[in-house]
């Protein structure tokens, strides 16, 4: 079965050191990771931000005053998934280092995670939902040749 179609906008905000993030996120890989997590055609914007922008968005939209790794703003799930995925570069870099993962693999995981959120998956509603979403992420990432991101827990 062919993968869903994706219209992708990849944006980089003002980062202190953008080079490692740009290197970890070539457009063709970002599109591949997202398309493997999609269940329908999509229009998605991915924006890589600094801690200040990440914290501001998380505070304004989730009422949590800290920078988080990924925020998903979902606008439509049918007939076309429409969403913005905002990833906070310094948080992702720190987490990748703390968990002994490559920056590229951690970005792949969080893009898959955010894409699932854009389609209605939610790990905060119940333990069963969290387990189902985690299992789906593991399956998608395995299909992309990326190790289980939860194995080190």
Alpha-carbon distances of 149 from 20, 96, 116, 140, 152, rounded to whole Å: 20, 10, 15, 11, 7
The answer to the question of whether 99 is labelled as a binding residue is no
For residues 17-45, average pLDDT: 97
- Residue 28 labeled ligand binder: no
Whole-prediction pTM: 0.96
How far apart are alpha carbons 87 and 89 in whole angstroms?
Answer: 6
Domain boundaries, the chain: 6-143
- pLDDT tens readout for residues 104-149: 999 999 999 999 999 999 998 999 999 999 999 999 999 999 999 9
Q: Dmax over Cα atoms in the chain, in whole Å?
A: 42
- pLDDT for residue 66: 97
Q: Is 36 annotated as a binding residue?
A: no
pLDDT tens for 64-95 read 999 999 999 999 988 999 999 999 999 999 99
CATH topology for 6-143?
Collagenase (Catalytic Domain) (3.40.390)
């Amino acid at each position: 079965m062919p993968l869903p179609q994706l219209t992708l906008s990849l944006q980089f905000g003002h980062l202190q050191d953008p080079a490692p993030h740009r290197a970890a996120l070539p457009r063709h890989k970002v599109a591949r990771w997202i398309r493997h997590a999609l269940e329908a055609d999509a229009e998605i914007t991915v924006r890589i931000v600094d801690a200040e922008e990440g914290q501001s968005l998380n505070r304004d939209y989730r009422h949590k005053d800290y920078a988080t790794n990924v925020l998903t703003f979902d606008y439509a799930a049918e007939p076309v998934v429409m969403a913005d995925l905002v990833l906070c570069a310094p948080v992702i870099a720190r987490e990748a280092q703390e968990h002994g993962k490559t920056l590229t693999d951690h970005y792949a995981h969080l893009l898959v995670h955010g894409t699932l959120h854009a389609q209605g998956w939610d790990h905060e509603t119940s333990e069963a939902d969290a387990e189902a979403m985690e299992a789906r992420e593991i399956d998608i990432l395995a299909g992309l040749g990326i190790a289980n991101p939860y194995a080190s827990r």
